[in-house]
Structure 1
């Protein structure tokens, strides 16, 4: 710091204690209750307490720039470029937020998306107005620089339009539809798979989802397929000899799908159908135990040491071993077969793709090429559906306790499984689905048509889930 800067700083401190006051004097409790005349843009006059107006950065800066003292309150007139009806709502908002901190804008570390703001009961009721009025409140908050109202107003407007279809948005904002019915029918036809599941996966996140490749036990495998023109073709027998682990996993996954089909469809006798549920999870457990053995061979820590167990619990295969143990000993839940079936299909196609590339039959097999194309297009939807099913299994297990079909330990063990899936190093879809479900439920809670007690219950439930969620994601 230079001598001049030190001198200025010293003067500032002297002035702060002396008779000359450059900063506005603090208000006493009595002065905080005094009212200031506020003149609106349409000629209205509203008397507003000083304690309310101090939430406006415009008012505070004006008070500071004019070098005014609390004695000037009686003669001061604050002009606001806001209509009377809107400004009265702004005053009401400021009255309810005296002494409260402004909402913080945060990003979810798991999804790197902005967290939606959660509203109190008062704030939910406050924004149960039309879109035009919300927009005017946002403009007023921006003009007066009231951060709490500005951020909350933007969130309220996002909640209003978040769950609406394009047709509803056009009607809401008076926009013309520039597509013909034939053009829209063609778009729906080309996106048929997406239309089946778009009700819980927003469009802007589908494009961000990445394909999950099965981890290889071979260190040199980068996940890239070799160039077909430079690779010597193998016979199917040579492929089986070179990749015995993949062949064994392929057989176990085929067995998984076979038992799932036998359980769901009445194609076998009733006795075998009853056993197919357990056999399906046994096949899944064998697959994941085999994959876990491959993954942990490279770990140098002693068995059953703390670091070895830590590495073990980070592996997705260990998660699904626990998953199988939970459902093998409980009453059958058909939904529990959905995630393991999806992963079996996903990895079966990956193995078929590898087989076709190594043996050179990719161009001669229409079925394999179509399956590979399906995997490339639908893998985000498949993995998101599996994650969604895993999440909704928890309330089902809790309900089964009251029906006498599940033990009291079940929800606690399954909660541990969900936390491990949330912290998965390879698969971000559980975190994505929790984020999307949170956004959807907050939108419902902040919807003007949602009853207050329902909105309050949803927000409390979301707060409970956030307290139970892991604080860090394993890398």
Structure 2
């Protein structure tokens, strides 16, 4: 009986690992989409600052450029997630997929508020996400940066990483309180009539997100804080009644929890 000869030697190319990048360009070309997102996020940061201190261009232009850069980021991330989960673009499942994805939420967010009156508060969630993700990318690429920039990147990354949970909570709080700003802008200054309705649905998507717990967590903390303050004897009765009605109304409007089924 004959058997196939087995070789104990391995060919070099079968176990060889990719050559480590030697320059920032080579590092970026390893993952072009991540590099594009990093550049877009840095653009968001620069032009968000420009809406507060308009050095380069006008506030309106800075606002729109920041949203355009954010659209690039979230559309790229959504496309990556779609390919990873093998969701067909021309299918009913794709729409469900978009409403379930955090990137899909913010894709709608940027698209809707692009035509809205320039409000720097709208850019707060976008710029915080940009700082968190760009600092992580630049930290991983720090060896290809100059010493001065490298020190700044390391210090920024360490501060962001240490306070990341607080930053995500702040993003969630800004998403929630933006509803109040949008409502006041609509009722007092004649802002877009559709804005409060859109932001309500946006908050429903964020509240129901399976990957982002912070909106639900901040809502719960705000509710507990309000109830604790109104239960004090010094709190006027009419304020307690108004607060209770607001909490009951928000609880009624909140998405219902879907029971989780276990697959066997």
TM-score above 0.5: yes
Question: When you count helix as a share of all residues, which structure comes out higher?
Answer: 2
- How far 1:257 moved relative to its partner? 1.1
**2:183 maps to which of 386, 398, 401:** 398
Secondary structure in structure 2 of the residue aligned to 1:380: helix
Between the aligned partners of 1:466 and 1:306, the Cα distance in structure 2 is 30
Is contact 1:401-1:408 (8 Å) kept?
yes
- How far 1:245 moved relative to its partner? 1.0
Is contact 1:424-1:474 (8 Å) kept?
no
CA 1:466/1:449 → structure 2, altered by over 3 Å: closer, same or farther?
same
Within-5 A mapping of 1:393-432: 393-432=178-217
**In the alignment, what sits opposite 2:253?**
468
Are 1:458 and 2:234 an aligned pair?
A: no
**1:374 maps to which of 159, 175, 178:** 159
Between the aligned partners of 2:198 and 2:54, the Cα distance in structure 1 is 32
1:37-76 residue CA offsets vs partner (Å, 9 max, x unmatched)? xxxxxxxxxxxxxxxxxxxxxxxxxxxxxxxxxxxxxxxx
**In the alignment, what sits opposite 1:317?**
103
1:116-167 residue CA offsets vs partner (Å, 9 max, x unmatched)? xxxxxxxxxxxxxxxxxxxxxxxxxxxxxxxxxxxxxxxxxxxxxxxxxxxx
Are 1:259 and 2:259 an aligned pair?
A: no
Is contact 1:292-1:318 (8 Å) kept?
yes
- How far 1:320 moved relative to its partner? 0.5
1:310-343 residue CA offsets vs partner (Å, 9 max, x unmatched)? 1221111110011112321221222111111100
Between the aligned partners of 1:301 and 1:374, the Cα distance in structure 2 is 37
Secondary structure in structure 1 of the residue aligned to 2:84: coil
- How far 1:301 moved relative to its partner? 4.1
Between the aligned partners of 2:70 and 2:46, the Cα distance in structure 1 is 12
- How far 1:438 moved relative to its partner? 0.6
Is contact 2:105-2:205 (8 Å) kept?
yes
Is contact 1:422-1:473 (8 Å) kept?
no
Deviates more, 1:413-422 or 1:236-245: 236-245
1:81-118 residue CA offsets vs partner (Å, 9 max, x unmatched)? xxxxxxxxxxxxxxxxxxxxxxxxxxxxxxxxxxxxxx
Is contact 1:256-1:281 (8 Å) kept?
yes
Is contact 1:250-1:351 (8 Å) kept?
yes
Between the aligned partners of 1:246 and 1:336, the Cα distance in structure 2 is 24
4+ aligned runs moved over 4 Å, structure 1: 230-233, 359-362
Are 1:336 and 2:122 an aligned pair?
A: yes
**1:277 maps to which of 56, 63, 87:** 63
Is contact 1:285-1:321 (8 Å) kept?
yes
Is contact 1:257-1:280 (8 Å) kept?
yes
- How far 1:233 moved relative to its partner? 4.2
Is contact 1:423-1:474 (8 Å) kept?
no
Secondary structure in structure 1 of the residue aligned to 2:163: helix
Is contact 2:48-2:120 (8 Å) kept?
no
1:368-418 residue CA offsets vs partner (Å, 9 max, x unmatched)? 221221122111111111110110011111111122442222111111111
For structure 2, the residue ranges without an aligned partner over 5 or more in a row are 1-16
Are 1:237 and 2:25 an aligned pair?
A: yes
Within-5 A mapping of 1:121-200: none
Is contact 1:314-1:424 (8 Å) kept?
yes
**In the alignment, what sits opposite 1:288?**
74
Secondary structure in structure 2 of the residue aligned to 1:403: helix
CA 1:407/1:367 → structure 2, altered by over 3 Å: closer, same or farther?
closer
1:256-309 residue CA offsets vs partner (Å, 9 max, x unmatched)? 11111111103235xx33311111111111211111111111343443433221
1:220-247 residue CA offsets vs partner (Å, 9 max, x unmatched)? xxxxxxxxxx997422222112111111
TM-score normalised over the length of structure 1: 0.48
Is contact 1:255-1:283 (8 Å) kept?
yes
Between the aligned partners of 1:301 and 1:366, the Cα distance in structure 2 is 41
